A and B are shown apart, each in its own frame.
Chain A
Amino acid sequence: MSTKLIYFAWVRERIGKPEEDVELPSGIETVADLLRWLKSRGEEYENALQYPDVIRVAINQEHVGHREKIAGAREIALFPPMTGG
């Protein structure tokens, strides 16, 4: 099953695309696993996810922590800390 990844702000700019569909390899169970795997996909990902701790994540449009399981996620968004308001 493919998962939609969406990127915002400087995460989007550094990766170079707003979204993509990916086939997650087996063994990717949590948000932290996903970030580690993405980071290994190339220079642009390495650049965007250099400091994974600062990356905020939403699964199906709700904030989650990095230990959250991603099973069943249709849409996972990665973005920097928010600056609205």
Chain B
Amino acid sequence: MAGAVVPAVRIQREDFDVAAEIASLTKGRADIGAVVTFSGLCRDEQGALSALELEHYPGMAEAEIGRIAAEATDRWPLQGLTVIHRHGKIAPGENIVLVVAASSHRQAAFEAANFLMDYLKSRAPFWKKEHRADGSEGGWVEAKEADDRATDRWKKQGE
């Protein structure tokens, strides 16, 4: 069962519909007992941000997220996995990223979704640039060391 699941990975400019993505994983099946979804949204801080612009590496973005998703299906008994990452200009309150993990039991789904997000943050080739509400250039968002540490905790002994 594990490893038989083919993750669905999509890199797109358009928004996604969380409910529709859950439905497409569970439709017509009675063996899924748990669905965990994570959505990441563009967050404004005190009205200073007009948008985030997400640059990505076409080709590698799909390939790298595919590799991370395949590792998740190897490590946890998942029955379905969908990962969507948007690029382009995204306004505060809009969706950026979605992970949907389906399994028989909740623990695998929770852990796989958590793992996916930690790895997406530090290994998926995307870069965020801020556009400020006052029209000035906001600069590139800096990577957080805490995100690298979050990724390290999933490493197996000896890695």
Contacts and interface: CB of A to CB of B under 8 A. Distances in A.
Contacts of A77: 57, 60, 125
Interface residues of B, number: 28
Contact of B63 (A8, A9, A10, A61): A61
Interface residues of A, number: 16
A79 B126 CA distance: 10
Interface of B: 40, 54-57, 59-60, 63-64, 85, 96-97, 117, 120-129, 140-143, 147
A84 B54 contact: yes
B140 A84 contact: no
B143 A79 contact: no
Contacts of A61: 57, 59-60, 63-64
A42 interface: no
A68 to B, nearest CB: 15
Given A8-B55, A8-B127, A79-B127, A84 B60 contact: no
A82 B60 contact: no
Contact of B124 (A8, A10, A62, A84): A84
